[in-house]
Structure 1
Amino acid sequence: MGDVSWSSFGEWWQTWGAPIGVLLVVVGAFIAFWIVKAVIGRVVHEVVTGVKRRADAADTEALSSSPLAQVRVVQRTRAIGSVLNTMVAWVITALALILILSILGVNAGSLVAMAGFLGAAAGIGAQGVIKDFLNGLFMVFEDQLGIGDVVDLGEASGVVESVGIRVTQVRDVHGTLWYVRNGEIVRVGNKSQGWARAIIDQAVPYHADVDAVEQRLLDVATEMSESPEWVGRIIDKPETWGIESVSAEAVVIRLVVKTRASAKDDVARELRRRVKAGLDDLGVELPSLQKVVVQGLGEQPPKGGQA
């Protein structure tokens, strides 16, 4: 009787063992991915919650008024969580596929050969995708850019709206949303990290008193840097770097103000307005823009100027 039962079970297992094994592997893969995803999500949530708690902010948007480093920790943590979820999904899928093939009776030699074939095919056919993936991974982990940063990627420049594993989305000043493949990004100019400079190249008539004009520019900038509205956005004393260029019609004087990265444009606009008012008070009549050629823009600071 017992022999008959075991014999019947053996016949049943030979018929249904492989499908049941495949089903168990698939279910196990889904459970494993769900568990790992939950763990990653929990870690990301704890990091983000901790940063918000330290910053006393109710949501990520509110962190814009907190130190930039805290905002970047949140965005980086979420991006890294997304990367890890993708990597875990690929690894679990590959392991499940190997187990399924093994259950179906495919020998190890065939598995190795298939893996080699798939690897070669991926290397040839999907090298662009792999390049995008790796470059996106490095950009996230090295914190080259983050959501909300103002960047110059060569072909596209503007505000970063999304950092994906394969594509980074950048919206330019005209509102156009650019989709830039990570593998095609060879340089990243980030205008939102650390500090920036508001540079005013002011042209004045050739016959003007250069010393008096330079002093007035410095006084205007210093007064602005000490005003309550701007004291938090200007992080160093304004400087004049002297004469930038000379022509028959005008002399160009450079005024420089070191600012927080996010405040550069606002500071520059207000500074130009105040400079115009200051030169009006001095009685300086500005030369025609058609006759002025500004040179030296983007050159290194003079000796003694801050790097």
Structure 2
Amino acid sequence: MNLLPTEPPTCIRDASTLCYQVYDMTHNNWLAGSAGWLVTKPLRIILILVIAFFVRYLTRRLINRVTTIPRGGKLPTLLRPLRERAPEMLGQAVIERRRQRATTIGSVLRSMSTFLIYGLAFILVLGELGINLAPIIASAGIVGVALGFGAQNLVRDFLSGIFMMIEDQYGVGDVVDFGEATGTVEAVGLRITTLRDIKGTVWYMRNGEVLRVGNSSQGFAVAVVDVPLSYSADVERASKLMTEAATQGVKGDALSGSVLGPPDMLGVESVTPEGIQLRMTVKVRPGKQWAVQRALRALLLATLEEEGFDPPLGRFMSAPNAEK
């Protein structure tokens, strides 16, 4: 049985078609009738794939260019419209913070662009092959819903990481409090944030599980200094001496670069069975509050001791020695 067509295809009536040209060269009815499948459609599919690859290449080049940190550690082009809350700290830490933020956002953009470009190219290729896309799209929707339910925690981590990066809630070098862990941020990713606490323990926090975060390294910080006194101490005189000593102390070379404002004496903070506590606060640069607290506490205690103020329980601690 001859399965090949015996009559010339009707498409040869138009001399401008590929079908006519193939028939004119080969005088083969089957080749002429199948010219569209054998030549035209493969060429269209190849053209679609080449264009998709070229568009993806240009898109990735553009994303890499706008997310690359220029010389001097300045903000990449992509991050300039976004708000930056990087604290004033060592230059290398700022550069690392910006680099990780730009790298992560760039990675998200590259993945999304690749998925969209190749996904559209895949749909166009299926259309060229004459495949009905409705069942495929419906099946993909069902699979997507199933994967969404199964990996909802992972999706939540990634979405939280994206918004955290865009809003710059925290970054490398920031001292943050996640509730369960407190420390310095060492790395920020889309799924996990890594921080190291004061004991050297490394904590890995999933971004989707972070319900609240306290950042001690944005804008400014406040150094809180509590100084204990005995019940017999002259509180008014002690407050005056502490204010004078702190005012002179913050003007020194050791603290002047960290302090943003004059000391503020708040007065009596608490009264305990052991004695009285006076509180002083100082507005400082972010991340410098702990160093300023230690320096001022040592300065104030030394000043009060020189002026003859006794520490709490001083009388009771020295009584046994007197009996000896």
Determine which structure has more spread, i.e. the larger CA radius of gyration. Answer: 2
Matched residue, 2:192: 167
State the Cα distance separating 1:24 from its structure 2 match.
6.3
Runs of 4+ in 1 over 6 A off after TM superposition: 15-24, 68-72
| Distance in 1 of aligned mates of 2:193 and 2:29 | 60
2:136 — aligned with what? Answer: 111
1:252 is aligned, of 277, 282, 290, to 277
TM-score of the aligned structures, taking structure 2 as reference length: 0.74
Residue type at the aligned position of 1:253: L
Q: 1:237 aligns with which of 244, 262, 272?
A: 262
Per-residue deviation, residues 222-262 of structure 1 (Å, max 9, x unmatched): 11111133222100110111111113430111111110012
Partner of residue 188, structure 1: 213
User: Structure 1: which amino acid aligns with 2:153?
Assistant: G
Contact 1:168–1:181 (CA under 8 A) maintained in structure 2: yes
DSSP 3-state at the match of 2:74 = helix
Question: 2:177 maps to what in 1?
Answer: 152
2:252 is aligned with 1:266: no
Per-residue deviation, residues 78-132 of structure 1 (Å, max 9, x unmatched) = 4432332232233234334434544555312113212321331232112212211
The aligned counterpart of 1:41 is 64
Q: Check conservation: 2:75, 2:98, Cα contact below 8 A.
A: no
**Of 112, 116, 124, the match for 1:91:** 116
TM-score, scaled to structure 1: 0.77
Structure 2 CA distance for partners of 1:155 and 1:37, relative to 1, 3 Å? farther
1:48–1:77: 8 Å Cα contact kept in structure 2?
no
The CA distance in 1 between the partners of 2:172 and 2:29, in whole Å, is 63
Amino acid at match of 1:262: G
**Which position in structure 2 is the counterpart of 1:304?**
none
Instruction: Give the number of equivalent residue pairs.
Output: 281
The answer (yes or no) to whether the contact 2:226–2:297 under 8 Å persists in 1 is no
How far apart are the structure 2 equivalents of 1:257 and 1:64?
19
State, as a whole percentage, how many aligned pairs show the same letter.
38
Taking structure 1 as reference, are residues 111 and 21 closer, same or farther at Cα in structure 2, changes over 3 Å only? farther
1:51 alignment partner, one of 70, 74, 79: 74
CA contact (8 A) 2:275 2:313 kept: no
Q: Are the structure 2 counterparts of residues 177 and 13 from structure 1 closer, same or farther at C-alpha, using a change threshold of 3 Å? A: farther
